[in-house]
Amino acid sequence: PDKEYICIGVKASNYFMPTETLSEKGPGGGGWILMDMTLAVKTREGKVWSKDEKGYPRIWAIGDCNYACVEGPGKPDDWPIPPIPKISYPGEEEAIIAMKNLEKVDKIVFHGQKTDKFGNPLEMATMHWPWGAGMFATSLGPHDACFVAGANWQKNSGLMCVWGAPCAVQKEIIEASKVNECAYGLVGRLIWHFVHHTPVHLFGGGPRWGY
């Protein structure tokens, strides 16, 4: 390439958490909150850190604060959750999963429910490598940008499918509509609501019938 941009400099700011719950490595030298497959905070020994007297987790870590992966044997490609980019899409997906797990714990502990409306056992939902984590719209100035889709945890994956001025417009639309959604605007909600509230998952690692 004619130019290569290396955008790094991420640093953890999780000083308020006990050392036993923070990673020893990772971007910026470590210090990220460790989580299990349900996004519950765990210790370096792999034990759930926030269990109540009945054994259910009560604290979850989502978004930029967490370790963004669940380690396992072998190389990162073989881990239960390979490293996830610290961008908005995975953070929002994690928020949905953590919220659903919180609601399930509430139903089990405080309402005595054991099954959902369809008779299925209430079980904690697990995180996955979200397909939307492989989409990046990167600004390269006021009138230039590039958009990569289809990337995953493997090196050199993904395809740059939009670039130049059209991508700069695309990024403006994304930002404006997301801000509108966060402000509970109608247009933003119509565009983005079902991105993370899809009732049926046909691909992407999520459960078939949603969370």
* Each residue's pLDDT tens digit, 61-77: 999 899 999 998 999 88
Q: Which two tokens stand for residue 7?
A: 């955008």
Is the predicted pLDDT of residue 86 greater than 90, yes or no?
A: no
* pLDDT recorded at residue 22: 95
Residues 211 and 209: their CA atoms lie apart, in Å, by 7
Q: What does the pLDDT look like over 24-72, one tens digit per residue? A: 988 888 899 999 999 999 999 999 998 998 899 999 999 989 999 999 8
pLDDT in tens, 167-204: 999 999 999 999 999 999 999 999 998 888 888 887 77
Could you tell me which residues are beta bridge partners of residue 162?
147
Cβ atoms of residues 41 and 16 within 8 Å? no
> What is the distance between the terminal CA atoms of the chain, rounded to a whole angstrom?
42
Residues ≥6 apart with Cβ < 8 Å to 89: 130, 132, 133, 135, 195
Residue 155's pLDDT band (cuts 50, 70, 90):
confident
Are 77 and 129 in contact by the 8 Å Cβ rule? The answer is no
- The pTM is what? 0.86
At 148, list the tokens.
Answer: 């990569």
Contact between 142 and 124 (Cβ < 8 Å): no
